[in-house]
Amino acid sequence: MSKTAITFASIFLLLICGFVSIDADAAGVSHAAAKASATKAATAWLKLIDAGDYAASWNAAGSYFKEHVTEDQWTQKVGPARRSLGAVVSRKIKIAKYMTTLPGAPDGQYVVIQYQSSFEHKKSAVETVTPMLDKDGQWRVSGYYIR
């Protein structure tokens, strides 16, 4: 991924950058349903990215995401960055953590999901996808970062 794409992604993902690792969720079962719904939303959104349908991924993203990046900005930056990685070889959830506050983001309901991923041209990567419970009560992606 190019430095430009990483920098661009950081604009609306600064909230993720401070997380080197995420501890196990102490709330346990109380947030299990939220994590399941958020993970389902993240998986569907990643399928759009994997298919190269970046405009559809922007349309499916949350309001917070759309407030910080236009569709044109998103498609122009994420397309070349993701194509340079090649096809997804594997992706497995490392951890999903329910949170109500994130640095640089408004208070709300979030699930920070880290995937251990492998791509055709990058054997080991960590993808962080952050769904947020949107204004309409649906979980939608509010941030995406690859390192």
* Segments forming the whole domain that contains residue 111: 3-146
- Structure confidence at residue 55 (pLDDT): 97
Average pLDDT, the chain: 85
Whole-angstrom CA distances from 130 to 48, 69, 120, 121 are 15, 15, 24, 24
Nearest to 19 by CA among 113, 139, 141: 113
Number of domains in the chain: 1
What are the pLDDT digits (tens) for 30-89? 689 999 999 999 999 999 999 999 999 999 999 999 999 999 999 999 999 999 999 999
Nearest to 15 by CA among 100, 95, 94, 87: 100
For residue 147, the 8-state DSSP code is -
Q: What is the pLDDT of residues 124-137, one digit of tens each?
A: 999 999 999 999 99
What is the domain-level CATH number for residue 37? 3.10.450.100
Q: What is the pTM of this model?
A: 0.80
Distance of CA 35 to the CA centre of its chain: 14
Instruction: Report the pLDDT value the prediction gives residue 30, as an integer from 0 to 100.
Output: 63
